[in-house]
Structure 1
Amino acid sequence: MNSLGIGVIGCGRIAQSHLKSVDAHKHARAVAVVDVIPERAEETAKRFQIPKVCRSLDELLSLPEVDAVIVCTPPAAHTAPTLAALSAGKHVLCEKPFALDVGEAEQMTEAAEKAGRWLSVCSARARCGAAARKARELILDGAIGTPYHIRSTAFRQRGRPGIDFWQDATWFQDKSQAGGGALMDLGVYQIDLMLWLLGNPKVKSVLATTFQGVGAPPPPGVRQDVEDHVTAMMVLDNGASAVLEQGWSTNMAGADSLMVWGSKAGLRFRPLTMISEPMVDGHLTETRLLDVDDHDSTGHGDVTTAFINAVIEGREPLTPAREALQITKVIDAIYRSAASGTAVAP
């Protein structure tokens, strides 16, 4: 395949980001869009000079020039268009989170494998930066010895979509539409990244808590039934452990970090630094590993570009369906553990 014709399903904010990447790619082109709000599809097509505005999903999927689709709908509307696209023989890049529940994720994964088409999920965004790629290379090459612990901590102070910003996107606060709060919106990236850095081990058990109630209450007419904060401790099948701390409304500053502990060396991100012997004046040596920002994706591209390149080259894209299914099982276990107050298995 020398080029890729792309259809976009859903023309909200995230679709605009995807389309910028498609527009910049030499071997891809956006050929059609569809949205439940026709005016939004029209505006998007005009902005990116997309030739076809479809009135239905079926119309878009019937177009022979559409080789792949990007599903940019809210989480509750991921499964139906993804299944339809796979059935129509299209490759799919699906926005995160993959699914509202494990059953949906299993259904989509099985459909992709049956259709023989690639299904990739956008929780892979965190894999695209220079630091993530370099760290994975070092870990898998044994440069830090045996990795035995990884921790991701990331806190927004007042960053609830639909309340603190993007006031028109209140679906983020509705569990039936979003599936959850800070975990589904942000923590999914970090779970994807942590497991990928360690070579995608299986998660054996999860112990978690969630909390909701930080910041101003939702405005009239908006109901928040999703979490502001999640903490999860995971035990992996290779004997290592992982900790996630994620919040989108917190009273904290300066705590964000991503760290990997190994038997020979450790890695600390922002900027990517190796901590290892020799000891100097009672402290281990710290070596900065990159001359660019951790998130720099030069020569690799963002999640959209990476998907396009993989499909054109006929290789597995980042966060393929099977890996996204495992992440969905971990998220499900986190919520079940938080509800029960006990450790559970994914």
Structure 2
Amino acid sequence: MRIYLIGAGVISRTHAETAAKLGEEIELRVADPNPAAMAEFLEQFPGVPSYTNASDMLNAEPPQDDDIVIVGTPPFAHLEPTLLGLQSGRHVLCEKPLAMNNEEAELMLEAARKAGKLLGCCSVRFKGMHHNETVKQIIRSGQLGDIYHVTWVNKWARSRSGIEYQANSRWFLDSARSGGGVMMDWGPYDIAMMHDMLQPETVEVAGAWLGKPETAVDPADTKFDVETHVGAMMTFRGGISGPRPVSVHYERASCTHGDEYVKVEIEGTRGSVKWTPFDSRQPVYIRFDRDGQVVEEEVPLPPRSPYTIMDHPLVHFHRKVRGLSSLANVGDRAVDHFRHLQSVYGSASTGQSQLTSIHPADEEGQA
């Protein structure tokens, strides 16, 4: 199998490391116009054929059926290389967020259909973690009863991409380059996990809001116009919950003057489960009634997977390309998840509710 990396930065080096864990011989190629980034890549992966632009790399040899192109550039540079990869006759795995807007996502999907190739998104980093799979099993076992309410809140006091995290990557702060703030940065993971758990057929987003708390270290030397705190009420219908709608209280912050906390809990008529989807070191708890009293129990967890969260996007996509059971988000599902993300911005800007229909998973376990 051949993997073509567009971008030679940190994230592409991570994908290159994962390629060595796929259980088969992998040939890498890499393209990046930045000499410094390329030098760092080749220092870590010497001998990999390198190019200064993606077109030259993709045109250097005929495509093979299982070729994978990985787009590891910032969001404003996702569309063109994704289209190049698909039009070259290769599967494409794009970093998150998939696109800058719904129009770009639709162009990608159209190109994938025309080429007969897979379009995937890296929003699946936390899918497949042992504690998340345990929660899925609890939900599907029916022991929670009819699910009716979800709390999905993750508030960090100071963890803004481009400021406290990856401070040199100021593009995170510019909506013209990032597409948005914490919703575009962490929202893809939240949405992928919520869909994986509940498998909704439609999602309605209402009452969404965007916030940008001010701090003494806010940069004055660069454009900073993205949200760092976001919230919405969502209603999931269909899927695991059947005809009963599920109300979802959603909130995500990379900066807040309020309390810093994480609370993710799914409530049903016979019990609830709470856990930390993005930290597998934390326990999973179920709560239920026993003889009229509330009982809380810690759930035993299976052994950890040998793969890290940074491995998962390529591991899942590789399995999909090979025709194996996979947790990859591809094609319509990947674009539906992006539409759900964009509907939060739509609700916040218009004050109106936004409805997104979700294509069904095409195999067990995919979301």
1:10 aligns with 2:7: yes
1:288 aligned to 2:299?
yes
- Give how far 1:177 is off: 0.7
Maintained 8 Å contact 1:28/1:308: no
Q: 1:10 to 1:146 in 2, by over 3 A?
A: same
SS for the counterpart of 2:125 is helix
1:55 equivalent in structure 2:
52
How far apart in 2 are the matches of 1:193 and 1:234? 14
Unaligned runs of 5+ in 2: 239-244, 276-281, 357-367
- In structure 2, do the counterparts of structure 1 residues 165 and 240 end up closer, same or farther at CA, with 3 Å as the change threshold? closer
In the alignment, what sits opposite 1:208?
Answer: 208
Partner of 2:271: 265
Partner residue of 2:365?
Answer: none
Q: Residue 27 in 1 paired to residue 35 in 2?
A: no
SS at 1:153's partner residue?
strand
Partner of 2:196: 196
Quick check: 1:267–1:273 contact (8 Å CA) kept in 2? Answer: yes
User: Does structure 1 conserve the Cα–Cα contact (< 8 Å) formed by 2:130 and 2:302?
Assistant: no
Partner of 1:325: 335
2:256 to 245, 250, 253: 250
Alpha-carbon offset, residue 265 of structure 1: 2.3
- In the superposition, the TM-score normalised over structure 2's length comes to 0.85
Whole-angstrom CA distance in 2 between matches of 1:246 and 1:223: 22
Q: Aligned AA for 1:6? A: I
State yes or no: 1:144 paired with 2:155.
no
Deviation sequence 1:175-211 (CA, Å, 0-9, x none): 0111110110012211111122102432134321110
Deviations 1:19-39 (A, max 9, x none): 221133331524210113133
By how many angstroms is 1:263 displaced?
Answer: 2.4
Secondary structure of 2:355's aligned partner: coil
Counterparts of 1:311 and 1:132 in 2: how far apart (Å)?
24
The separation in 2 between residues aligned to 1:165 and 1:324, in whole angstroms, is 26
1:239-294 deviation digits (Å, cap 9, x = unpaired): 112222101112345521221112232111131222223247x32242423155xx
Of 91-100 and 19-28, more deviation after overlay is shown by 19-28
Q: How much is the aligned-residue C-alpha RMSD, in angstroms?
A: 2.2
* Contact in 2 for aligned 1:33/1:45 (Cα 8 Å): no
Identity of aligned residues (%): 29
SS in 2 for 1:188: helix
Cα deviation for residue 133 of structure 1 reads: 1.8
The answer to whether structure 1 residue 241 and structure 2 residue 268 are counterparts is: no
Q: Is 2:213–2:256's contact at 8 Å kept on the other side of the alignment?
A: no
Shift of 1:166: 2.0
Alignment match of 1:335 (pick from 345, 348, 363): 345
- The two structures have a TM-score, normalised by structure 1, of 0.90
The 1:69/1:308 distance shift into structure 2, 3 A limit, reads same
Aligned to 1:132: 132
SS in structure 2 opposite 1:210? strand
1:32–1:50: 8 Å Cα contact kept in structure 2?
no
Deviations 1:81-112 (A, max 9, x none): 11111111111111000111111111112221
Paired residue for 2:228?
Answer: 228
- Looking at structure 2, the residues matched to 50 and 345 of structure 1 have their Cα atoms a distance apart, in angstroms, of 49
Measure, in 1, the Cα distance between the counterparts of 2:200 and 2:133: 14
**Contact kept in structure 2, 1:23 and 1:30, CA below 8 Å:** no
* Alignment correspondent of 2:306: 298
The letter for the 1-side match of 2:212 is: Q
- Deviating above 6 A after TM superposition, structure 1's stretches of 4 or more consecutive aligned residues are none
Give the Cα separation in 2 of the matches to 1:52 and 1:330. Answer: 38
What are the superposed Cα offsets for residues 284-310 of structure 1, whole Å, 9 maximum, x if unpaired? 242423155xxx433796222222232
Aligned length: 339
